[in-house]
Chain A
Amino acid sequence: MRLLSIKLNGFRGFPREQNFDLDADAIVVIGANGHGKTSLFDGILWALSGKLPRLHNDDSRLVSMYSETGQARVELRLRDDRTGDPFSVTRSFDGKERRVALEMRERTYQGPSAEGKLIDLIWPDAAASAEPGEALASLLTCCTYLQQDLIRNFVEAASDHDRFSAVSELIGAGRVTELQASLERSKKAWSTATNQRQEELGPLRQRLAIVETRLAELTTRSSQLSPLITSEQWQKWWEDLTELNLKSVQVTPASREAPAAIDDAIKQLDALRRLSERRLDVLRTVLEDLQELANRATPELAPLRESTAKLRLELDTLKSETSEEQSRMAELRRHQAELREKNEQLKALAALALQHLTDQCPVCAQTYDKNATRDRLEAIVQGTHDESQIPSGPDKLNELLIRLEAKEKELASAESSLHSTEHIYNRRQITEQTIDKRLSEIGIAQFDECTREAVVSGAILETDTLLRRTAEMQRIGESLALGLAQSSAAAVIDELRRDADILRPDIIERENVIDARNRTGDLAQRMIEGLRDATSFVLEERLREISPLLQSVWTRIDPHPAFRIVSFFSQMVRGKGQLATIISDPVEDKKCELPSTVLSSSQLNALAVSVFLSLNIGVPNPPLAVAILDDPLQSLDDINLLGLVDLFRRTKERRQLFVSTHDARFGSLLSRKLRPSSEKGRTLVIELNAWGRQGPTVIMQDVKCDPVSLRLVS
C-alpha cells in the first residue's frame, strides 16, 4: 500500500484546502515548529483510522479554528500494490457529524461499509477486533507513524505490559489476545447460563423425588387395600341410610362427588350415633333411677311431724314451768335478802337500844317492860326472834332443768329424724321430676307410672339396636370411602407415573445438555490457556525474528560506545505479558533493562527510532508499507544524526518513508541523503513556510538523482 496524495481542508494547521503529492519513495517535510508538519501526518492517520489517539480522539480538536467551511476534511489517495489500483479515503467532521467515504475503481462506499472495506483493504486482521478503528490506529501509531511527542514513549514511559500489548498488537498477536478475551467473556456467560440450567434442574430433581416417593407410598398402600367396592354394597348402604331417615344424596361410586357424598353421609351417621349414645345414656340413667325408686319405700312424714309437734309443746310447757319456778325462786331470794338486811338493821338497832335501854322510851317516853324488851332486843341481836327467821320453800328448779334438757334432746332427735326423712322425700321427688324431664327430653312423655320401667327398658333396647346399626353403617361407610380412596389412589398413581415418565427423560436430557455444556466449557478453558500460551509463544517467535533487525538498526546508528547490543525480553507474569528493551555491553558483559537510566536523551531517541523501525520493517504484514517519523531528529548529536540519516536511506528501500524536521539545515541533509538513486525513484521535499491564518505556504519539489550513479567505478 503506497500513499499517493493527500488533500487537507480545515484540518488542524491547514485552514484552507491544500494538496500534497505523496507519490514518492521518500518525502522530507521541512518546516518550523507549528507550521503543519504534524498536522500533515495526523491527516494521514486520521484518514486511515478515523482516530487520533494523540489528541485522545477528541474530534472537536480536528477542525481548524480558521476553517472557512467549519469542517475538517481529509482526502487521502493510496494505491494497492497487490492490484495496482488506486483508491481514496475521504473523512470529514463538521463539529457534529463524521463522514467517511471510500472511493474505489468499481464503486464508492459510504459510512460503516466504507470503514469495513477500508479495514479489509489495509489490515484485514483488525476486522476481528471489537474496535477495528482503534486497533488500526493503535497499530499505525506503534509501527507506522512515530509521533513527535510520543517518540520515546515506547522505551521510556510505557510499562512493560503496555509495551507487550503494543507489540502483541503489532505482530498480530493482539488478535489472539482479543480472541482469548472474547472467549473468556463468552465462556463466563456460558458458565452463567450453564449454572442457571443446573439450578433449574434442582427443582425438577426434587419434584421427581417427591413424585417417586409418593408413588412408592401409594403403590405399597394400594397393595394392602381391600378389594374395590361393588355396586350392590354401595346401593344397599345408601338404602339403609335412607331407612335411618338420614338426608343424603346418593351418587354413583365413579362420580367425582362420591367422596364428598359419602363423607357427608358418614358425618350424619356419626351425628346419629352420638345422639343415640346420649339417648342410651339417658335411658340407662333413668332406668337406674327408677330401679332405685322402686327399691325404696316412700317415707311417712305425718307421724314424725305429729310427734315432733307434741314434743315441741311439751318442751314449751316445760320451759314455762321452769321459767315460773325460776321467777319464784328469784322472788324468794330477793325476799330473803331483804329480810337479811332488815335483820342486820334490827340487830344494829337492838344492840344500840340495849346500850341505851332504860325504863322509859327515850322517844315517846312510854314505859315498857324492860326485861321483856331486853330479852327481845337480845333475841334480835342474836337473831333468834321469830321475825328474823328467813322464809324458804321447796326448790324444784333443778329437776325442771333436767327435764327440760332431756326434752330438748328428744325434740332434737325427732326433728333430725324428720329432717332426714324430709330430705329423702324431697330427693325422691326431685328424682321423679328429673326422670319425667329426661324422658320428656328424649321423647317419652306419655307413659303409665307403673309400666314406665318397662317402657324405658324397651326404649333402651331399641336405642341400643339403633346404635349398633349406626356403628355398623358407619363402619361400612368408611369401608366404602376407603374403597373410593383406593380408586382415587389408583388414579393418582397413574397420574404420578405419567409425571415421572415425563420428568425422568426431561431430567436426563437436561443433565446431558449440562454435561455437554460443561465439556464445552472445559474445552474453552483449555483453549483459553492454549491461547494465552500461544500469545506469548507467537510474540517470542516474532520478536526472535525481529531481534536481528533491531540489532541491525541500532548498530547503524550506533549511538553508544559501550551498549552496542539491544534486544527484546518478554515474559509472562501472572498471566500478563511483559516486554522490555534491554541494552547490553558485549565487551564487559553488562546489561540494562531500563535504558532510560543509562542512555542520554539523544541516545534514547535513537533507541526509540531503532525499535520503531525494526518493528516497522520487521512486521510481516504491515497495514501499510510506510514509515512516518515526525521530527525524530531532535536532541541528536551530529554523529547519531548521520547514522540515523544513513538508516533512513536504507529504510527508504523497504518502505515509503516520511520524515519531517524543523531544522532547515538538516532538512537539506536529509534531502540529499534520501535522493533517488536513479530516475526510477522519487524523493519529494515539502517545505512548510510562513504559517498564517490561511495556513502555511507550501513548496514541493523533487530531489534529483545524481546524473551518473557510479563515478569512480566507471
Chain B
Amino acid sequence: MTESTSRLTCTDLIATASQALSDGGYSRISGKFPEWDTPTSRLFEDEYSVVGIVAFDTCIELIKSWPDVQGTLVDVISGHIGRQESKSWDGYLVLLSPALAPSGDKEIEAIRSNTTRLRKLVATGDDLRSATNIERTLRPLLPFGQEQSDAALGSVLDFLPKLLAKSDINEGTTQLLVDAFREQSPLMERLHQVQDKQ
C-alpha cells in the first residue's frame, strides 16, 4: 500500500478498499464471479447489501465503463437474489480511479448523482490521495467504528478536581464543591468549612 505523496495505484485502491470492507463486516465473494474477481474488481456482501468495487487507471476509462460494470453487478444481484428480498435493492457500486478527472468533477459528480439501479460511490484523483481517503469513500457502507468515541467517560463534574488542579486548586476542595453542588448545599459555606480546616 502506498501512502500520501505518491499517487495510489489501482492495486493500492483495491487492496485498501477490500481491507476496509472486510473490517466493516463484509465478506468477499471470490471464485464465483470471474468478472468480479480480478486485480481491479472485487465483490463483497454483508447482511444488508452487495458491494462491487472496481478500480480504473484513468478516469476516462471509468466514465466510459461504469454503465457496463453496473450492468454486470445488477445481473449478479438479480441472478442470485429474488426481487422480493430487500437485499436485491441494496446494491452498491464503488468506482475508484487514482487519476484526475479530465473535465473536472462534473462527469464524476454526474455518476455519483445517478441513483438508477445502484448507488454509486465514486472517488478519483484528489479524493484518493491516501489510504484513508479510500476508507472515507467507503464510509457509507461501513458501520460506525473507530471514529466513534462513546466510551463511558462519566460525568464532566467528576473530572473537575483534576482539571482545576491545573490551576493549583486542591483536588479535595474541588471535590467538596462538586459534592455540595450535587447535594444542592450552599457552595460558599462548604468551601469556607474547608478553608477553616486548612
**Which residues from chain A sit less than 8 Å from chain B, CB to CB?**
124-125, 127-128, 171-173, 175-176, 178-179, 182-183, 186-187, 189-190, 516-517, 519-521, 523-524, 526-527, 529-531, 533-534, 537-538, 545-546, 548-549, 551-552, 555-558, 561, 564, 587, 617-621, 637-639, 642-643, 646-647, 649-651, 653-654, 672-673, 675, 677-678, 706-707, 709-713
Contact = CB atoms under 8 A, between A and B. Distances in A.
A127 B157 CA distance: 12
A529 B195 CA distance: 18
A516 B196 contact: yes
Nearest to A125: B155
A529 B27 CA distance: 54
A653 B181 CA distance: 36
A555 B76 CA distance: 28
Contacts, number: 191
Given A125-B155, A125-B157, A523-B191, A558 B140 contact: yes
Contacts of A706: 47, 85-87
A52 B105 CA distance: 45
B191 A672 contact: no
Interface residues of B, number: 66
Contacts of A654: 144, 148, 150
Nearest to B184: A128
Contacts of B29: 712-713
A530 B164 CA distance: 6
Interface stretch (B4-12, B13-21, B56-64, B170-178): B170-178
A553 to B, nearest CB: 9
A530 B174 CA distance: 10
Given A524-B187, A527-B191, A651-B144, 16 more contacts: A128-B182, A128-B184, A183-B187, A186-B187, A516-B192, A530-B164, A533-B163, A538-B159, A548-B146, A549-B149, A620-B153, A638-B115, A675-B86, A711-B80, A712-B45, A713-B45
A175 B87 contact: no
A190 B148 contact: no
Contacts of B157: 125, 128, 172, 175-176, 179
Given A186-B188, A642-B115, A712-B50, A173 B32 contact: no
B23 interface: no
B188 A530 contact: no
A524 B188 contact: yes
Contact of A642 (B85, B119, B156, B191): B119
Nearest to B167: A530
B171 to A, nearest CB: 12
Contacts of B68: none
Nearest to B29: A712
Given A520-B188, A618-B149, A619-B150, A710 B46 contact: yes
B156 A176 contact: yes
B160 interface: yes
Listed from nearest, the 8 A-B pairs whose CB atoms lie closest are: A548-B147, A172-B156, A545-B149, A530-B167, A709-B47, A677-B47, A530-B164, A190-B188
Nearest to A654: B144
B89 A171 contact: no
Contacts of B112: 561, 639
B169 A523 contact: yes
Contacts of A530: 163-164, 166-167, 169, 174
Contacts of B164: 527, 530-531, 534
Among the interface residues B76, B90, B173, which one has the most CB atoms of the partner chain A within 10 A?
Answer: B90
B186 A677 contact: no
Contact of A712 (B43, B146, B147): B43
A552 B149 contact: no
Contact of A555 (B140, B156, B177, B196): B140
Nearest to A558: B140
A673 to B, nearest CB: 7
A549 B144 CA distance: 8
B181 A618 contact: no
A537 B160 CA distance: 11
A677 B147 contact: no
B89 to A, nearest CB: 6
B54 interface: no
B99 to A, nearest CB: 15
B109 interface: yes
A621 B155 contact: yes
18 contacts: A125-B155, A128-B157, A175-B155, A517-B192, A530-B167, A530-B169, A534-B163, A538-B159, A545-B149, A617-B144, A619-B150, A620-B152, A639-B112, A646-B140, A673-B48, A710-B45, A711-B80, A712-B50
B148 A617 contact: yes
B154 interface: yes
Interface string B108-142: 01001101000100000011000000001001111
Given A176-B160, A516-B196, A639 B140 contact: no
